[in-house]
Amino acid sequence: MSRASDRAYEAIRSMILSGELPAGSQLGEEALAEKCGVSRTPVREALRRLESDLLVTRTDTQRSFVADWSIDDVADAFELRAMLEGKAARRAAERMTDDALDRIRAANRQIDGALSKPGGDVAGFLEGNREFHTVILEVAGSRRLAALLGTLIEQPVVWRTAHHYGRDALRRSHGEHEELIAAFARRDGAWAEAIMVGHILRAYHAYADAHRGLTDTAMQLEAAE
Amino acid sequence: MSRASDRAYEAIRSMILSGELPAGSQLGEEALAEKCGVSRTPVREALRRLESDLLVTRTDTQRSFVADWSIDDVADAFELRAMLEGKAARRAAERMTDDALDRIRAANRQIDGALSKPGGDVAGFLEGNREFHTVILEVAGSRRLAALLGTLIEQPVVWRTAHHYGRDALRRSHGEHEELIAAFARRDGAWAEAIMVGHILRAYHAYADAHRGLTDTAMQLEAAE
DNA sequence: GGCAAAGCTATTGTATACAAATGTCATAGG
DNA sequence: CCTATGACATTTGTATACAATAGCTTTGCC
């Protein structure tokens, strides 16, 4: 992670996710290189990675821009993610070990702990959540499935979803995890898949509702001018 | 395609697919650069692309090797491909236009033509086959689905499958395409998905059978020494 | 005034040099 | 004989210079 190309990747990525670089902005290699304090070479590498993450698009003439995520794109991403994570959950249930089950339980305990804190520890929730899904993917034992999901899980929308969640929605998420654990403990692949698909799609609708709200607000603001 | 990095990508890729660079070979950037007649810079870029194609793996110390495809990896890839292409077929059926349907029919006519030639025009078959699946992916209208499948369809095993196919297997493939067309014409997503999944999985078993045959032969040769 | 072509600017692509990191081998010590 | 350590070779990472190309502006012609 201390390599210059990794730092450039993280820096550019966080600039996109934070909105500092809004959708549609052109990403000049030289400008980014200066911002990140590295030369163009690692920046180029970072841009290619971001492109394969679909956070960056390139025109036919090789110019890079921050990708524009329409609501349809988001729906598309969640739909695929539901399918792939559902598949991963099924495989994981069929191959579950006692050891991995313990790690999954520990991850969900961490989530519970984060939710019980006074302020509501969103970072702790996200970390536990990531561990939870990571272990499942590991147990599923498909390098390719992991690779495909890797391009879907860390996208801007997914990242922001937890911040749209209210506390009760996070609680419900924790409850669904408990159900998943029950399915894993019984090695019931079909059950695990069903719960996981529902889990992801509920997250999608939470995002879509919040997004609709934001859009409406923006429209009201425009109308008020 | 005339850019040096594209030439390097194609060159290295074909060296891997042809077996000139066997699985496990180390891929030194300098050596590849000389072979391809370009500098290390475009070779590095090509290697990253091949890595995301899973044709190349990198150790924790950043050294590149030709990826080793075990039979389990192959099964894994086909299983995922069946799921994703099945999904694509379902979406395509639900959104099918008359225009696209004509293109799909034309592609299958080309396949038919290739099969009717005396020698058995494998290249023509592959081209028609690619067009067939490409149009479906296009009509499915999911950039992300297309991106995910892109990393699965051009892999060594898939590429070689058609060469393992006998003439009758290719005929059967053509027949399944006809069934798919029928499902598309009726906009029946569930039917299209079912046929597509079967289509891909049959291709897998054709490959696996041929592979088993090859392995047995190799084992016999070893035993004969 | 509109359009086209030419030249200028901005941006990306490639090569090369050097720095950093990794792997290898030989040698010395236990 | 095995292991550890050091020097040396190999390989990858980064910076920079230069080349090629796309985009823009200006100017001249119709």
Alpha helices in A60-165 (DSSP H): 71-95, 98-116, 122-140, 143-153, 156-164
**Residue range A103-122, pLDDT digits in tens:** 999 999 999 999 888 876 77
Q: Scanning the structure block, which residue is given the tokens 């492109």?
A: A51
pLDDT at A187 over 90: yes
Sign of CA dihedral B21, B23, B25, B28: positive
Mean pLDDT of B71-99: 94
Q: What pLDDT is attached to residue A126?
A: 84
Tell me which nucleotides of strand D come within 7 A of a protein CB. Answer: 10-17, 21-23
Nearest to A145 among B44, B80, B147 (CB): B80
Is a pLDDT exceeding 90 seen at residue B210? Answer: no
Q: At what angle do helices B71-95 and A71-95 cross, to 10 degrees?
A: 140
Through-space separation of residue A6 CA and nucleotide D23 C1' in angstroms: 31
Q: How far is A98 from chain B (nearest CA, A)?
A: 24
Nearest CA in chain A to B74: A144
The backbone torsions φ and ψ at residue A56, rounded to the nearest 5 degrees and listed phi first, read: -130, 140
Query: Which residues does chain B have within 8 Å of residue A145's beta carbon, measured at their own beta carbons?
Result: 76, 80
- Is A148 in Cβ contact with B77 (below 8 Å)? no
Spell out which residues of chain A touch residue B150, defining contact as CB-CB under 8 Å.
Answer: none
Task: Tell me the DSSP string of B8-64.
Answer: HHHHHHHHHHTTSS-TT-B--HHHHHHHHTS-HHHHHHHHHHHHHTTSEEE-TTS-E
Among B41, B77, B87, whose Cβ lies nearest the Cβ of A83?
Answer: B87
Task: List, in order of start, the domains of chain A with CATH numbers.
Answer: 4-66 (1.10.10.10), 71-222 (1.20.120.530)
**What is the least distance, in Å, from the CA of B77 to any CA of chain A?**
7
Q: What average pLDDT does the structure give for chain B?
A: 88
Q: Could you tell me which of A85, A74, A89 has the C-alpha nearest to residue A205?
A: A74
Q: How far apart are CA A171 and CA B198, in angstroms?
A: 41
User: Could you read off the pLDDT of A56-80 as tens digits, one per residue?
Assistant: 999 999 999 999 988 888 899 999 9
Q: Which residue has the higher pLDDT, A222 or A130?
A: A130
Please, is A123 exposed, middle or buried when counting C-beta atoms within 10 Å of its C-beta (0-12, 13-18, 19+)? Answer: exposed
Q: Which nt has its C1' nearest the CA of A28?
A: C11
Which tokens is B159 given?
């590429």
Beta-carbon pairs below 8 A across chains A and B: 49
pLDDT value, residue B217: 58
In this structure, the dihedral spanned by the alpha carbons of residues A61, A78, B157 and B165, taken in order and rounded to 10 degrees, is -110
Residue B131's identity, in one-letter code, is E
Beta-carbon separation of B73 and A143 below 8 A: yes
Round and report the angstrom distance from CA (B72) to C1' (D3): 39
Mean pLDDT of B157-183: 81
Q: Is B194 on the interface with A (CB under 8 A)?
A: no
Can you give the pLDDT at residue A207? 82
Question: Measured from the CB, is B62 under 7 Å from any atom of strand D?
Answer: yes
Residue ranges in chain B assigned as alpha helix (H) = 4-17, 29-36, 40-52, 71-95, 98-116, 122-140, 143-153, 156-164, 167-185, 189-224
